């Protein structure tokens, strides 16, 4: 078995199946781009995300979380470009390869760098990484992050009472940021891939 870490997913692939697996993954990308041209699915903003994707591919739905179970897309009125849309396509391709060739999917070990604040305009920022086969921390792009707030002095692991401010997602370099409206404790929580189950990776920054 070869462990493969990919966009925050961990997959154990039989060495004999590696080439089949790559072909399957790349074939799924080809299929993704036929959905509008050949299958006529609605993609008014031409971002390769769909109003009603096939049931097998809920991550490709062009809608806000939680209608899309893993991403916070803008809907058919505006294009979603960049890392979130790419991550949705990659998770979809990897899930297809796993179903088609075998190799169960689970979570890569994911963690936040220190969440801090600064910059102009003032923002809270943090970097999401996962550990690759060599033990190195690799930036995790395109992952949905929930931002919540409580009063200064509240501990990050307090389970309830947080106010939802909104969602952001990690960029190509793994960094996520969110504008700071006022002082408080800001909590970043990863909305994980479905395979991660109840995993929640949270970190906080206190802004006095």
Q: How far is the CB of 89 from Zn ion (least distance, A)?
A: 7
26: how many CB neighbours lie within 10 A of its CB? 12
Stretch that binds Zn ion, among 12-20, 46-54, 88-96, 137-145 (CB under 5 A): 88-96
> Which CB sits closer to Zn ion, 9 or 115?
9
Stretch that binds Zn ion, among 39-47, 85-93, 114-122, 169-177 (CB under 5 A): 85-93
- Tell me the site size for Zn ion, rule CB under 5 A: 2
By CB under 5 A, residue 48 contacts Zn ion: no
Nearest Cα neighbor of 192 from 61, 68, 70, 11 is 70
> Which CB sits closer to Zn ion, 126 or 193?
193
Task: Tell me how many helices (H) and strands (E) the chain has.
Answer: 3, 12
> Which CB sits closer to Zn ion, 85 or 93?
93
> Which CB sits closer to Zn ion, 93 or 143?
93
d(CA 45, CA 184): 37
Nearest Cα neighbor of 32 from 12, 47, 15, 19 is 47
By CB under 5 A, residue 60 contacts Zn ion: no
- Provide the H-helix boundaries in 143-187: none
Question: What are the structure tokens assigned to 31, written together?
Answer: 């299929």
Strand order in the sheet with 105-107: 2-6, 9-13, 105-107
> Which CB sits closer to Zn ion, 32 or 189?
32
Residue 10 — φ and ψ, nearest 5°? -115, 130
Stretch that binds Zn ion, among 30-38, 92-100, 138-146, 152-160 (CB under 5 A): 92-100
The site map against Zn ion for 175-194 (x = CB under 5 A) is --------------------
By CB under 5 A, residue 93 contacts Zn ion: yes
Instruction: List binders of Zn ion among 3-42 (CB under 5 A).
Output: none
> Which CB sits closer to Zn ion, 24 or 177?
24
CA distances from 126 to 140, 178, 203 (A): 11, 9, 8
Stretch that binds Zn ion, among 15-23, 72-80, 86-94, 167-175 (CB under 5 A): 86-94
In sequence order, what are the residues at sequence separation of 6 or more whose Cβ sits closer than 8 angstroms to the Cβ of residue 40?
Answer: none
- Binding-site ranges for Zn ion (CB under 5 A): 90, 93
């Amino acid at each position: 078995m070869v462990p493969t870490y990919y966009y925050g997913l961990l997959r154990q692939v039989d060495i004999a199946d590696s080439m089949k697996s790559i072909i399957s993954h790349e074939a799924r990308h080809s299929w993704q781009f036929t959905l509008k041209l050949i299958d006529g699915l609605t993609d008014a903003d031409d971002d390769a995300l769909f109003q009603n994707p096939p049931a097998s591919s809920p991550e490709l739905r062009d809608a806000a979380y939680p209608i899309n179970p893993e991403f916070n897309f803008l809907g058919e009125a505006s294009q979603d470009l960049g890392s979130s849309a790419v991550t949705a396509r990659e998770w979809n391709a990897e899930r297809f390869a796993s179903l088609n060739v075998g190799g169960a999917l689970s979570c890569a070990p994911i963690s936040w760098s220190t969440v801090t604040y600064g910059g102009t305009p003032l923002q809270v920022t943090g970097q999401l990484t996962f550990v690759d086969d060599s033990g190195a921390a690799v930036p995790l792009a395109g992952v949905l992050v929930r931002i919540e707030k409580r009063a200064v002095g509240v501990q990050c692991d307090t389970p309830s009472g947080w106010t939802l401010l909104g969602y952001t997602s990690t960029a190509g370099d793994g960094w996520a940021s969110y504008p700071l409206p006022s002082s408080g404790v800001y909590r970043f929580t990863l909305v994980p891939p479905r395979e991660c189950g109840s995993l929640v990776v949270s970190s906080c920054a206190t802004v006095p």
